[in-house]
Amino acid sequence: MTERKQVVRKAEFPVAGLGTRFLPATKVSPKEMLPVVDKPLVQYVVEEAVAAGIDVMVFIVGRSKGAILDHFDKAYELESELTSRGAGDDLATVRNIVPPHVTCVYIRQAEALGLGHAVACAKAVIGDEPFAVLLADDMIDAGRSSCLAQMMTVFEDRQCTVLGVQTVQPSETGDYGIVAASVINDRLSLVDAIVEKPKAGQAPSNLAVIGRYILTPAIFDKLENIPRGAGDEIQLTDAIAMLLEDETVLAYEFEGKRYDCGSKLGYLSATVKQSLKHPDLKGPFAEFLKTLELT
């Protein structure tokens, strides 16, 4: 009898970080709520998850992240006001931030102990299912098939952990988890080892893990049994390294352009790109850019 294939239905969004690189803008407002044109960063990754078939969104939040909960909640007063004004388009926009079939769950991360700790916070909600992890800092412009949708296709076929990866400059390896991998095909590799933030010249490759993961539930046991790693935090990379001892882990080089919106330059680049794609702005904004004198 053929074993039934597992399906990814749940996704985690670790959004409890302090966003110190964007102070003072993030003193009160969550970094994930910074707008790129007319949508906050976190909405872009939620839309990516919805498009990939996810219907349970699990947000790992901190004390100052109430705006994220409010954004994905119903806004009775605003909807009433828009209705009275006859602002149908705006009303539809507000009501359709998440589709009706999508469930949002919020879990408080009491301490900022790293990405691995944030992922572990959702164990009770995820249960014994494979799940995705998406980081709002990483906006990926991938055209018709999103990064997560591409990775879901790999998971459906291979039924194992899949890491979204891209090639970075050798000087940048200290900012990422880096994999050593054996090529399977043009975009897919078998992970042989993974190291958290190796110094330039000490990295096993320049293939970096970015903010997209599909993980098996076995990761939770690893997260519970690893010591604190880089930055005195519980590192997801270290747990994946332990997972390699028991399970296959794949690295997938996704199609698309990634913008590191955790940096100011990446955030501005993403804003320009999305402005040039926006149906109401792309023409006028392109004309405006032509008028700029770069000095």
124 falls within a domain: yes
Cα of 29 vs its chain's centroid, Å: 19
**Total Cβ atoms within 10 A of residue 212:** 26
pLDDT score at 21: 92
Domain count of the fold of the chain: 1
CATH number of the domain encompassing residue 145: 3.90.550.10
196 falls within a domain: yes
Burial of 46 (0-12, 13-18, 19+ CB in 10 A): buried
Q: What one-letter code names the amino acid at 263? A: S
Give which of 140, 226, 155 is closest to 10, Cα–Cα: 155
285 falls within a domain: no
pLDDT score at 295: 58
For the chain, which residues score pLDDT lower than 70? 1-2, 295
3-state SS class at 5: coil
288 falls within a domain: no
Q: In sequence order, what are the residues at sequence separation of 6 or more whose Cβ sits closer than 8 angstroms to the Cβ of residue 132? A: 8, 10, 11, 12, 49, 52, 54, 148, 151, 152, 212, 213, 214, 215
DSSP string, 38-99: TEEHHHHHHHHHHHTT--EEEEEE-TT-HHHHHHTS--HHHHHHHHHHT-HHHHHHHHTSS-
pLDDT in tens, 60-85: 998 888 999 999 999 999 999 999 99
**Domain span at residue 60?**
10-278
287 falls within a domain: no
Contact status, residue 160 vs residue 194, Cβ threshold 8 Å: no
218 falls within a domain: yes
Contact status, residue 140 vs residue 48, Cβ threshold 8 Å: yes
pLDDT score at 63: 85
The span from the CA of 284 to the CA of 35, in Å, is 19
Give which of 136, 158, 148 is closest to 270, Cα–Cα: 136
Cα of 91 vs its chain's centroid, Å: 27
Angle, alpha carbons 121-14-46 (nearest 5°): 125
63 falls within a domain: yes
pLDDT in tens, 201-229: 888 998 999 999 999 999 999 999 888 77
Both tokens of 78, joined, read 């605003």
51 falls within a domain: yes
User: What's the pTM value of the predicted model, to 2 decimals?
Assistant: 0.93
pLDDT score at 201: 84
